[in-house]
Structure 1
Amino acid sequence: MNSLTRRQFLQYTGAAASVVTAGGLTDAARAEEVLKVGVVYVSPIAEIGWTKQHALAVEAVKSELGDKVAITAIDNIFMPQDAERVFRELAASGNQLIFGTSFSHGTPLQKVAPRFAKTAFEHCSGIVHLANLGTFEARYYEGCYVAGAAGAHMSKSGKIGFIGGFPIPDIVGPANALLLGAQSVKPDITCNALFLNSWFDPGKEKEAANTLLSQGCDVICSMTDTATGVQVAGEGGAWSIGYASDMARFGSGKQLTAFTLDWSSDYLRAAKGVAEGNWKPEARWDGLAAGVVKMAPYNEAIPAEIVAKLKQLEADIGAGKVHPYAGEVKDQDGNVKVAGGSVLSDTDIRGMNWFVQGMIGKLG
């Protein structure tokens, strides 16, 4: 697998074009037997985090398909104008399947996909579908709800904290689920929420975590692309909840659990579909039941009987017996958003732009 910076990619595509031109029918036929896949990461590939989990899914494709796939991966592409150029270059260089891995890749993909009708595009965290653009996402809120319950069992202050990258529905929804899960154990517990307006800014994240500690939060969950929140919480004697990857080794023994992401099934499904000629754009949104969302091992400090309850909660959510957004649910101002006896629809969950009652913070 090639892992390239954008500058290296430009050099790579130029070299590839020369090879194809000089190739001949035999080489061309051999090239057609190999599935060319391009992947664009929003941040650098680190030991853990959002991009790492996508990189692991790419490795799963390589492991499954072996020499039948050639993968070009480009990291740290965040700005929309850069992403549009990179997606266009990947498509122009013959990649039959191209992945975008961030909400911020949405507009660039929507611009590029129609120009390359024979190329399949997949967008993680996307909401727009085209004839050759599919989307996949995780039900983060399911893992957040379980993690919130774990946090409430261990919290002594009755205050938990949440750090998000941006106040978008994909982050606001899980933040609400974290608190609702905690309130299912302790109804009066509250959550202080802060947003960094960045996916990857360890300095800002450290400041935010310290702010939450100073506000009395003794459990901190951070939905960013670093382990900074887990690390700062542990160093400050607070419990933490990891996101995307299991971050326990950074938490000074204080990570309660993590809601991890396994994108392998999404990547493999798309790759095999393109290779077999039956790929179609889909809107996939899976959680605990499908194994896209998984809970990391629970901290040994959590009593065994509580761990048993948490694992049962996982199973009940996966089976549909418990819904994190089951009513009655009120917003910060006390307005009923989900009536008793009903649950929030998938459409409303994916467009969530309000905080639940007990959340301390602002979205604007």
Structure 2
Amino acid sequence: MQPEGTPIKTLLWRTFTPAIVVLAIGLGALVYTRLYDSILDGFSRKLVTTSALTGALIDPADHDFLIQAAKVRAPAESVEAMGPYLRNVQPMRRIRRELQLTYLYSQVLGGTKDVIYVLDATEGDEHSAIGSEDELTAETRTGLRRATADGSIYVSPIEFQEQWGLLKTAAAPVRDRQGRIVATAGADVNISVIEVATQNALLVSALIGVVSLLASALVTLQIVRHVAQPIEALKSEALRIAAGDRAPPAETAAPKEVRHLRVSIAELAGHLIASMRTAWSETLAHDRARNVAVLEAALGPAEPVVLLGGKGGRIVWRPADDGLDARLERRAMSGLAERFAADRKLAARWPVLAVAQHGTVAEEAAA
């Protein structure tokens, strides 16, 4: 038996589902990429603005004094308790809290490492005391030197710093009393802050992907309903007609091609039913003639049958003709004669039992 094949609904879903999934994933990925770029750009703008503002707010005279104190390794606690330090670091602390930055500080190139910290708005365990030094990545070190040389604002990519972890940094120039660039004001944001915003962007992207997936699925469902269902309904009608049902295909809403096919099936059904009727009549006639011939050959001619016999006479069935009915009745009378011969009581009731329809039963005198 040949397999029926794949239903058209399944074929349509197999065709559209990959496209729907690819569309949803692509749209979600596009939205996520755009949002992620926007997030990074937003953080970059915030860091650039904050570092530039911090560099402009730092008092040059106070900062020159603090740079000298940092370079000579003056006692950090004593210097940080002095007015020049507090006057500049307190506004920086407010800015850091309001803008939710990880670090906000000023630094100068030099020392035994890469930079010496001067002002640091961070409080607590992560606070860098004045005069403490730090090593930078090669890219950040190059960016700070460029900012010190030409006054540009450096913005780093997200990079790993051994002491501070993953950071995104911006550094703006800080000038002395003569207007020369002597340091940089740095603003950092930890990757965890960016990750929170990124996770929100990912959630939005996922929601957009799900919505687009549902919308595409609804569109596909409508296509399946308007295309697949009429075709499947027409298929059922064709199978019903092929099974012998004479009713024409039902009229339902369908595309133009399906309606034309329905008309063709209706015409074909009419021809098919007419052919079936003709073939059925011919088959019946042929079978009847064949069966009659077989029976006539098996039964033999319709000859008289002696039902009972004795000295005083006999009871004889004689056929009316030599037709099939008479031959069948002869077979029945022969069986009845055998029963009469075996049971005399039954033979006494022959007038009731030996009733002929295609012949006659009569008493005849003995010859």
TM-score computed with the length of structure 1 as normaliser: 0.19
Tell me which structure has the larger Cα radius of gyration.
Answer: 2
Higher RCO (CA < 8 A, seq sep 6+) = 1
Between Structure 1 and Structure 2, which shows a larger proportion of strand residues? 1
TM-score computed with the length of structure 2 as normaliser: 0.19
